[in-house]
Chain A
Amino acid sequence: MPQLEQTSVFASLIFWSFVSFGLLFFLLRKYAFPPLLEILEEREKKIRGDIQGAENLKLEAQTIKQSLERELGAAHERAATIIQMAADESKRIQEKTIQETQARMKQLQKDAEQEIQASRNKLFGEIRGYTAALTISSTEKILRKVIGEGDRKRLADEAIEEALREIGRSKSA
């Protein structure tokens, strides 16, 4: 196996390997590794910062959410109170309106009854008047037919005599 038999090349191989390794070590350490490590660390730092920022934003969002939930709860309570108050007020107004309406209805009923009573009285009066006039007229007509000329004359005479007697009684008195 030449690698074990050619001992004359060992010194050369080992020497140049170490020299070349040293040179590569120097060059990479000076020019290649620092910027690459720096950019990796910078990116890691940025990612870590971004993650931290995201965590902070998440916490902030949670705080805002909790605050909003509290406010929403309070708003719900306020809304419930307002609705209750509105319902109470509505009920009160409704009852008041019913009472007023009932009172007005009673008043209107009373007025209507009074008006009806007055109209009835007036009507009765008119009917009485018409009835009396009709009765008198009918009586007159009946009497005119029933009493003849002779009776009318006799009744007239009797009336005159009565009148004369009356006059005479008043003169004597």
Chain B
Amino acid sequence: MENPLHHFELHPLVHLTLLGFDISINKAILAMWAGLAAVFILFMIVVRGGLSLVPGKIQSLGEISVDFIRDMVNEYIGADGMKFFPFIATLFFFILACNLVGLIPGSYTLTSQLAVTGAFAGAIFILTLIVGFARHGLHFLSILVPPGIPKVLIPLMVPIEIISQLARPISLSVRLFANMTAGHTVLGVLFALATATALWIGWMPFGFTILINGLEMFIAFIQAYIFTTLTCVYIGDVIKLH
């Protein structure tokens, strides 16, 4: 039976280099482009020909998704949240598209790469630092001192808070990576079982594959939602400072 982690391997399809870095196009990048193209095309279908006050089915779908993210932004970031709306919404649809497109057999889930989820989580962490310092100056460092604690505990709390802040991008990236990897590994194992065994027993893992695929679609939404929500929470934290 094939190694279930084998399908996570990537091989260059088009060799490219930039400033000495290998930026070759591989299956993961093609899958990501396919997902993002689908997102953009869907939105273009929604907005083409103008929008009406009484929405149709397609318009309702677009409005619900945008309204859902707008509510999230307003809830966690607050009054200034709408400045971050395009970024948050794009992040949600980017992760969702990458998660979902990986469920197509033969495709690839970009978010099952820790390098990608880590890069995004790190970028979000840096963004929160920039927003925090830009908004509050050095007072932003007070985020390391939880409100209401005795002064004697500050030397203890500051290192703990620094670790807590640094753990955020790690947990954010590992959560998404682990969920996507685990889901696809389970699917890979079940599908390999289905193809490796005789038909009289092989239908069972194949049936499970279908069930797990449905569950993975749900997880794809949930993980995109969690990643985006936590991003909003982190941005909201640095704006509100506790």
Contact = CB atoms under 8 A, between A and B. Distances in A.
Interface string A1-41: 11110101111111111101101110111011101111110
Given A35-B47, A36-B47, A36-B63, A24 B93 contact: yes
Interface of A: 1-4, 6, 8-18, 20-21, 23-25, 27-29, 31-33, 35-40, 42-43, 46
B21 A15 contact: yes
Interface of B: 5-6, 8-10, 12, 16, 18, 21-26, 28-29, 32-33, 36, 39-40, 43-44, 46-47, 50-53, 55, 59, 62-63, 66-67, 70, 85-87, 89-91, 93-94, 110, 112-116, 119-120, 123, 177, 181
A24 B63 contact: no
Nearest to B114: A3
A35 B63 CA distance: 10
Contacts of A23: 36
A16 B8 contact: no
Given A13-B29, A31-B43, A33-B66, A8 B89 contact: no
Contacts of B47: 31-32, 35-36
Contacts, number: 133
B8 A8 contact: no
A14 B114 contact: no
Contact of A39 (B8, B24, B63, B116): B63
A28 B90 contact: yes
Contacts of A36: 46-47, 51, 62-63, 66
B8 A1 contact: yes
A15 B18 contact: yes
A14 B23 CA distance: 9
Given A20-B33, A37-B70, A12 B22 contact: yes
> What DSSP secondary structure best describes chain B's contact surface?
helix
Given A12-B26, A15-B18, A20-B33, A4 B114 contact: yes
Contact of A29 (B28, B29, B36, B86): B86
A123 to B, nearest CB: 109
Nearest to A39: B51
Nearest to B24: A12
Given A10-B115, A33-B85, A16 B5 contact: no
Nearest to A7: B115
A20 B36 contact: yes
A3 B24 contact: no
Contacts of B59: 39
A21 B90 contact: yes
A164 B23 CA distance: 199
